[in-house]
Amino acid sequence: MPADTAPDTAPHATLSSVTGWGRTAATTARLIRPRTYQEAVAAVQDCGARGGIPRGLGRAYGDAAQNAGGAVLDMTGLDRIHAIDVAGGTVLCDAGVSLHRLAQVLLPLGWFVPVTPGTRHVTVGGAIAADVHGRNHHAAGSFTRHVPSLELLTADGEISTVGQGTPLFDATAGGMGLTGVILTATLRLQPVETAWMTVDTERADDLDDLLARLTATDHRRPYSAAWIDLLARGAATGRGVLTHGDHAPFEALRVGTRARRDPLAFRPAQLPDVPALVASELVPEGLLSRRTVGLFNELWFRKAPRARTGQLQRLSGFFHPLDGVPHWNRLYGRGGVVQYRFVVGYGQEDALSRIVRRIAARRCPSFVAVLKRFGDAAPGWLAFPVPGWTLALDIPAALPGLAAFLDELDEEVAAAGGRVCLARDSRLRPDLLAGMYPKLADFRALRAELDPRGVFTSDLSRRLGL
């Protein structure tokens, strides 16, 4: 790890209201923003009786990076890229570096991160702590599969290099920041020739059709996902639009175009900010009602081609379409948004169908609803991905009866041997956790040995007894 020369002093702390991307259940904590490794050590040693939790860019929907009455360590001040091996395809960087920044730096050199979630506004440390996945999980696995090593600041104030395949690595990968503060990480990269994607699109008339198409076509391109209409009912239940993508080769760009002249330029689109008015008292329910989402879903499905191949899309538009709308979470109104993300194994398609039908019958207004296939299970003890079908949907938190309804879905997911995603969760009951995560006892035992005083803690860990 590169040496710091700053004095070993605790960074300034401010009392702040902290919430997740869902903007629900805000809690107050001392927000500390270290800018050197020594300041990070001092911050950990000064967490106090309520402990502390590291935080990146705040894109966890729920309470994973909140700590009521304690400390929250904002790690975005540690954002240096230390070394790039252009020939070998690796980067060594601080945990506070965002995937957006990596794209800005690495794409012009012909490299891209091998796994990216639905937003590039997450830090490397956050991507490891949540062990994020992308559209290519069936081909590339989750994020930490491509992290050969990281440096971890543990509760005793020591900094250790942690490699893949060790118990501490497997507890940290998907461990929601509860094993320590990730300071740096080495990441293996994906070579690319352009900043464009070659995309195939097709429509599916119902859920069975959608599952069959995903199963039959995943091998065509490494990235695949389906938008699913969760308001459609009857014969159209589960209808959707399936997209497959791959990094476009240079030859795919038309001669004489701007793209051909500058094939690796990173130019993400940016639309106007969603006004704070939408999330205010004046528009308490936001803009995403059953009526507006139903209209959007109908138009989105109808405008999608029945079948189209080889369309060129900007890399940012393919992977991160919502990043082009700053603060899009305000669309859900002042009550905020709950993301419900779960996975059930292959062979549990009947359970998936029952859940989709229940969501459709409940008329949950979700315009962000994505169905994907997972490949091999991630090695992390609390990592979310296991082989099977994963569905994510965003729901206005103010929807009447939502908590009880999601409790019922949790029980159905658990009965099917599935699990919910901790990085997105804000309300799971702790009695279901052990059945969903069989390595939970190992995680708790390692934490008790590594951090007997409970230095690292969060609202999530207290709620679920992690």
Predicted confidence at residue 281, as pLDDT, reads 57
Q: What is the mean pLDDT of the chain?
A: 93
Confidence of residue 278 (pLDDT cuts 50, 70, 90): low
Per-residue model confidence as pLDDT tens digits over 164-197: 999 999 999 999 999 999 999 999 999 999 999 9
Q: How many residues does the chain have?
A: 466
pLDDT of 317 higher than 90: yes
Mean pLDDT of 221-242: 96
Burial annotation 130-143 (CB, 10 A radius, 16+ → b, else e): bbbbbbbbbbbbbb
- ∠ CA 145-71-101, rounded to 5°: 40
Cβ-based neighbour number of residue 209 at 10 Å: 16
Q: Tokens for 272? A: 């106007």
Phi first, then psi, for residue 194 (nearest 5°) are -145, 170
Q: Classify burial at 219, counting beta carbons within 10 Å of its beta carbon; exposed 0-12, middle 13-18, buried 19 or more.
A: exposed
| Residues facing 84 on adjacent strands | 91
Residues 6+ apart with CB under 8 A from 213: 202, 204, 226, 242
Predicted confidence at residue 32, as pLDDT, reads 97
Confidence of residue 280 (pLDDT cuts 50, 70, 90): low
Amino acid in the structure at residue 133? H
Q: How many helices (H) and strands (E) does the chain have?
A: 14, 19
Confidence of residue 49 (pLDDT cuts 50, 70, 90): very high
pLDDT of 290 higher than 90: no
Cβ-based neighbour number of residue 404 at 10 Å: 8
SS3 for 113-169 is CCCCCCCCCCEHHHHHHCCCCCCCHHHHCCHHHHCCEEEEECCCCCEEEEECCCHHH
Q: Classify burial at 270, counting beta carbons within 10 Å of its beta carbon; exposed 0-12, middle 13-18, buried 19 or more.
A: exposed
Phi first, then psi, for residue 109 (nearest 5°) are -95, 0
pLDDT of 6 higher than 50: no
Predicted confidence at residue 89, as pLDDT, reads 98
Across 251-255, 270-274, 354-358, 442-446, least confident range: 270-274
> Would you tell me the crossing angle of helices 207-217 and 349-362 to the nearest 10 degrees?
140
Identify the DSSP state of 222: S
Per-residue model confidence as pLDDT tens digits over 399-422: 999 999 999 999 999 999 999 999
Q: What is the DSSP string of 13-75?
A: EEEEEE--TT--S-EEEEEE---SHHHHHHHHHT--TT-EEEESSS--SSSTT--TTSEEEEG
Predicted confidence at residue 8, as pLDDT, reads 54
Q: Tokens for 377? A: 């299970």
Confidence of residue 283 (pLDDT cuts 50, 70, 90): low
Q: In what order do the strands lie in the sheet with 90-94?
A: 81-85, 90-94, 181-188, 149-153, 159-163
